Every structure is written in structure tokens, then in C-alpha cells.
């Protein structure tokens, strides 16, 4: 094990071999990585464990530069495990470079079907037994998709849990992928309206960029293709505390004048690429709709739900907006089949993504009966009008988890856990302990 000492935190590497399919424990195995974080001077104390489940799917756990963000509060109370969920970070990778080892698109899809919340929870349980001991419970902090995983944890392995804290991540227990996006598009429209109210000058700026891309898609520095629809994907930023400002500053610097006249600036295209590329998190795209799939809720496939539901909201159609003289709406956290044509890191996974979109009969991720009988102390921060997770779905789920306490706030956006330093986590800790 390697240990590093950074300002205010001591970090130690942990690797664990786990079954690819937990139903076949003697079958193929892969490696899952976790980074332990503890306050200096407390390395040898008997501290309770807290495992952090990252948002996503498909993103690695944070790489702390020191005792920053929510670790400021966490390290006062816990020994923390930052878990790289299977397929991400230093765990056995799953991307365009490694997945061809599985075979063709169908074989790759079969492999990735084992990368959802149920498998992540089973991996965490093996880590708990290894690090804390088989009889020791630990605490869970789940951010966004990590909160979905925490809800799965409460459903299928509550015996391993001491307490659960969720931020911006209470899923709809019975929401189909269509339900999720049918609720999402109006929320995203409200975020667009708020952005344009703050920066009315951006209405014409965005229309100009979209009209240009509609006629002449741009080539991004990394080889990607920036279409008008891909440009709309920058709206993913609008769900964070500073996203609207970042988007505005990006848009205002979009153009330069060269020998042939106005053209999109290379600096603009470079920054756009950094926001739109999924090179670092390809699993986000191929598994994104699968995280909502459950056979008891929707026996069939997800079938590119976000793309199908988008047709019900013509305000998000670039051509309709431009032809009608209306503002062009940015989209939110949704995945569309054309992404696998515009992003070069995703092109090799196009058929794999299609196979997952067509896959049916996904196992259930939540057990409503078990959640109704929950005995694990639990608390959730629910962000009012969260762009990424529907507030109504979250509150409905909160009512179905026995004993779960909610803190509904509009002080923070979806990134409140990180943006708020230790404030959000500190309140959740006091909630699960009954101190507030």
C-alpha cells in the first residue's frame, strides 16, 4: 500500500479483487480501487469508516489536493474511503481502449450490464469487510448517482450500514427513463430562462452560434464535430452554482475576425471541447439510461428515452427556435445517439451503446418493502429545482424510506456538497445523529 501526505490529509491506496458478476463469485474478476483519507495524526485511531459514492455514472472519485471541500468536515469524524466505482479511475478500466478485449458490441454490452448500482454496492460490501471487518458497519455518503447507489445499498445490504447521507441523489423508485426525462426537460427550460434573464445579451449570441453551426458544423481540436445539437449540450453547466456564469463568459468570447471574416475562435472551440468531451467518462454515456432501468417498472428497453421524449418539447429543437425567432434552449444531462458520432472517444462504442439501449429485463435496483422497514439512520439534502434529479421524485422516495430525514434547500445547486465546503455534510451528520 502506498501512502501520501498532503496538506491536512493522509492518503493510502487500497485495491481489491471482486467478481465481475457477484452471482458467480468464482467467475471472472476485476479490480476495484479505493483511496483512504484520514486526518494527520489520527492514522492509528479507531475511527468509523465513511465510504464516498461519486456521482455519475462513470466518474472516478475525487482526487483531493489536500483537506478541501467536504473533507474539511468529514475528517473530523471519519476515516474516508474514496471509491473508484468499477470501470473508473484506478479500478479496472472500461473504455474504448479496453472494451474490445471483451469481443464485439454484444459481448461488451453483456460485460457492462454488470456495472450498475447493484454491483457497485456489492463491491462496497466486500471493501467494508476487508477494511472495517465483517462485523463492523460503516457510513455512506452518496452524491447524485452516488445517492442512487446509497438507496440501492439500503435496499439490498442495510446490514452493512451505520448511517446514510445523500446529497442531490434520491432516485424515483418507480420512475422509468421516460418519466425521468419528461420531468427533466421543463426543469432545464427553467434553468435556460433564468440564464437568459441574467444575461439577456446571450439570447442573440447563442442564436448566432447555433445558426452558424446549423449551416457549418465546426471541427473541435480533438477531432470532434460541433453541431448545433452538440453545442446545446453545454447546458449541463446550468445545474451547478457557477455554471451560468461560466457559460456566459464562454459565449461572449466565441468569435474572432480573421481574413475571411468572423469565425469561431480556436480558444472557444478548445474550451467547448473540454466541457463536451466524454473521453474521461465514457461509461456516463453508455450506461446513463440503464441506471433507471428496472424490470418491475419497465420490462422493456430504455430505447434512447431522452431522444424520444425530447420530441415532446419543441422548445429544445434548434431549427424551431431559430425559425421562430425564439431563444435557443440548451439541453441538460441527457444522452442522445448522435453523441456517438460527434465525440471521437465514443465512436467505437456506438454499437455497444445501441445494444445497451435495446437491452430489456434489467434487474430491480430498489426494494420498496425493505426501504419501508428501514432502520438505518438516513438523511438527504434535496436541492429545490435540482436540474439533474427531479425534486418531486426525490421527495416521493423520501416518504417511502422509513426514518429518512430531508433537508430541502435552495441555497445550493446540485453541486452543494462540493461548493459548500463542509457545510452541507456537517448538517447531514448532525441530522443522522439526531442533533438537529
Among 73, 139, 144, 155, the one annotated catalytic: 144
Q: Is 43 exposed, middle or buried (0-12, 13-18, 19+ CB in 10 A)?
A: middle
Torsion of CA 171, 117, 150, 373, to 10 degrees: 80
Active site residue 202: no
Distance CA(138)–CA(207), nearest Å, equals 51
Active site residue 275: no
Cross-strand partners of 257:
262
SS3 string, the chain, reads: CCEEEECCEEEEEEEEEEECCCCCCCCCEEEEEEEEEECCCCCCCCCCEEEEECCCCCCCCCCCCCCCCCHHHHCCCCEEEEEECCECCCCCECCCCCHHHHCCHHHHHHHHCCCCHHHHHHHHHHHHHHHCCCCCCEEEEEECHHHHHHHHHHHHCHHHEEEEEEECCCCCCCCCHHHHHHHHHHHHHHHHHHHHHHCCCHHHHHHHHHHHHHHCCEECCCCCEECHHHHHHHHHHHHCCCHHHHHHHHHHCCEEEECCEEEECHHHHHHHHHHHCCCCCHHHHHHCHHHHCCCCCCCCCCCCHHHHHHCCCHHHCHHHHHHCCCCCCCCCCCCCCCHHHHCCCCHHHHHHHHHHHHCCCCCCCCCHHHHHCCCCCEEEEEECCCCCCCHHHHHHHHHHCCCCEEEEECCCCCCHHHHCCCHHHHHHHHHHCCCC
Strands 138-143 and 218-219: unpaired
Among 4, 17, 253, 361, the one annotated catalytic: 361
Q: Is 107 exposed, middle or buried (0-12, 13-18, 19+ CB in 10 A)?
A: middle
Torsion of CA 237, 242, 245, 250, to 10 degrees: -50
Active site residue 144: yes
Among 329, 336, 414, 418, the one annotated catalytic: 414
The torsion angles phi and psi of 124, rounded to 5 degrees, stand at -60, -40
Q: Which residues does the annotation mark as catalytic? A: 144, 361, 414
Amino acid at each position: 500500500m502506498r501512502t501520501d501526505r498532503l496538506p491536512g490529509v493522509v492518503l493510502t491506496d487500497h485495491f481489491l479483487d471482486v467478481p465481475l458478476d457477484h452471482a458467480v463469485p468464482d467467475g471472472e474478476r476485476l479490480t476495484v480501487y479505493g483511496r483512504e483519507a484520514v486526518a494527520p495524526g489520527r492514522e492509528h485511531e479507531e475511527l468509523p469508516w465513511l465510504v464516498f459514492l461519486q456521482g455519475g455514472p462513470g466518474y472516478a472519485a475525487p482526487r483531493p489536493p489536500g483537506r478541501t471541500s467536504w473533507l474539511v468536515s468529514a475528517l473530523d469524524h471519519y476515516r474516508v474511503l474514496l471509491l473508484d466505482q468499477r470501470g473508473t479511475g484506478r479500478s479496472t478500466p472500461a473504455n474504448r481502449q479496453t472494451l474490445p478485449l471483451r469481443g464485439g458490441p454484444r459481448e461488451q454490452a453483456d460485460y457492462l450490464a454488470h456495472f450498475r448500482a447493484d454491483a457497485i454496492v456489492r463491491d462496497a460490501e466486500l471493501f467494508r469487510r476487508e477494511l472495517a471487518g465483517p462485523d463492523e458497519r460503516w457510513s455512506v455518503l452518496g452524491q447524485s448517482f452516488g445517492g442512487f447507489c446509497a438507496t440501492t445499498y439500503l435496499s439490498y445490504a442495510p446490514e452493512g450500514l451505520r448511517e446514510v447521507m445523500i446529497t442531490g441523489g434520491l432516485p424515483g423508485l418507480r420512475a422509468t427513463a421516460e418519466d425521468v426525462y419528461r420531468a427533466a426537460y421543463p426543469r432545464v427550460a427553467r434553468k435556460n430562462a433564468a440564464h437568459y434573464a441574467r444575461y439577456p445579451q446571450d439570447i442573440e449570441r447563442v442564436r448566432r452560434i447555433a445558426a452558424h453551426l446549423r449551416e457549418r458544423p465546426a471541427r473541435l481540436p480533438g477531432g470532434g464535430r460541433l453541431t448545433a445539437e452538440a453545442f446545446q449540450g453545454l447546458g449541463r453547466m446550468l445545474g451547478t452554482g457557477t455554471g451560468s456564469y461560466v457559460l456566459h463568459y464562454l459565449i461572449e468570447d466565441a468569435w474572432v475576425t480573421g481574413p475571411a471574416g468572423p469565425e469561431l475562435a480556436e480558444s472557444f472551440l478548445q474550451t467547448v471541447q473540454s466541457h463536451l468531451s466524454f473521453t474521461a467518462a465514457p461509461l456516463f454515456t453508455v450506461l446513463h439510461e440503464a441506471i433507471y432501468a428496472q424490470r418491475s417498472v419497465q420490462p422493456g428497453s430504455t430505447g434512447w428515452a431522452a431522444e424520444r421524449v425530447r420530441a415532446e418539447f419543441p422548445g429544445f429543437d434548434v431549427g424551431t427556435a431559430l425559425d421562430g425567432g425564439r431563444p435557443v434552449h440548451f439541453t441538460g444531462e441527457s444522452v442522445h445517439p448522435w453523441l456517438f458520432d460527434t465525440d471521437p472517444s465514443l465512436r467505437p462504442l456506438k454499437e455497444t451503446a445501441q445494444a445497451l439501449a435495446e437491452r430489456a429485463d434489467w434487474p430491480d435496483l430498489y426494494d420498496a418493502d425493505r426501504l419501508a422497514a428501514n432502520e438505518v439512520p438516513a438523511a438527504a439534502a434535496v436541492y429545490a429545482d435540482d436540474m439533474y434529479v427531479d425534486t418531486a421524485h426525490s421527495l416521493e422516495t423520501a416518504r417511502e424510506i422509513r426514518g429518512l430525514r430531508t433537508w430541502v434547500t435552495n441555497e445550493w445547486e446540485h453541486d452543494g456538497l462540493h461548493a459548500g465546503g463542509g457545510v452541507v455534510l456537517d448538517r447531514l451528520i448532525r441530522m443522522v445523529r439526531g442533533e438537529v
